[in-house]
Amino acid sequence: MDCPFVYANGRRCTGQITRARAYGRHDRWGRVEEHDIRKVRLWCSLRWDHAGAVSTFASKERMEFYPDELQKLGLYEAAIALCVNLLEPAPSHPATADH
């Protein structure tokens, strides 16, 4: 998917997002279910995390997006698909669900 990062001069990054990670309530392996996602961090093929030479907390946040931000950008589905730690919801077992 296209990198959503926009430079200060208004030019959009031409890189591709190659990796994403979901943040939110997670299990002990760091996996997050889609409905628990609070933020998604993206990594870009051209500029990696866009943090620049000075890596500060603020610059790290540049590549973190709330799910509704991604939806506005039309990138939500693609970003979720790239998440390396997305936990598939546990399949329901009809045979045992009533017990």
Which is nearer to Zn ion, 5 or 65 (by Cβ)?
5
* Separation between Cα atoms, residue 89 and residue 99, nearest integer Å: 19
41 is a contact residue toward Zn ion (CB under 5 A): no
Give SS3 for 78.
Answer: helix
Which is nearer to Zn ion, 78 or 87 (by Cβ)?
78
Q: Determine if residue 24 is left, alpha or beta; phi over 0 gives left, psi from -120 to 50 gives alpha, anything else beta.
A: left
Q: Which of 92, 78, 88 is nearest to 40 (CA)?
A: 78
- Options 20, 22, 32, 44; binder of Zn ion; rule CB under 5 A: 44
Q: Which stretch binds Zn ion (CB under 5 A): 18-26, 44-52, 64-72, 83-91?
A: 44-52
Instruction: Give the interface with Zn ion as residue ranges (CB under 5 A).
Output: 3, 5, 13, 15, 44, 47
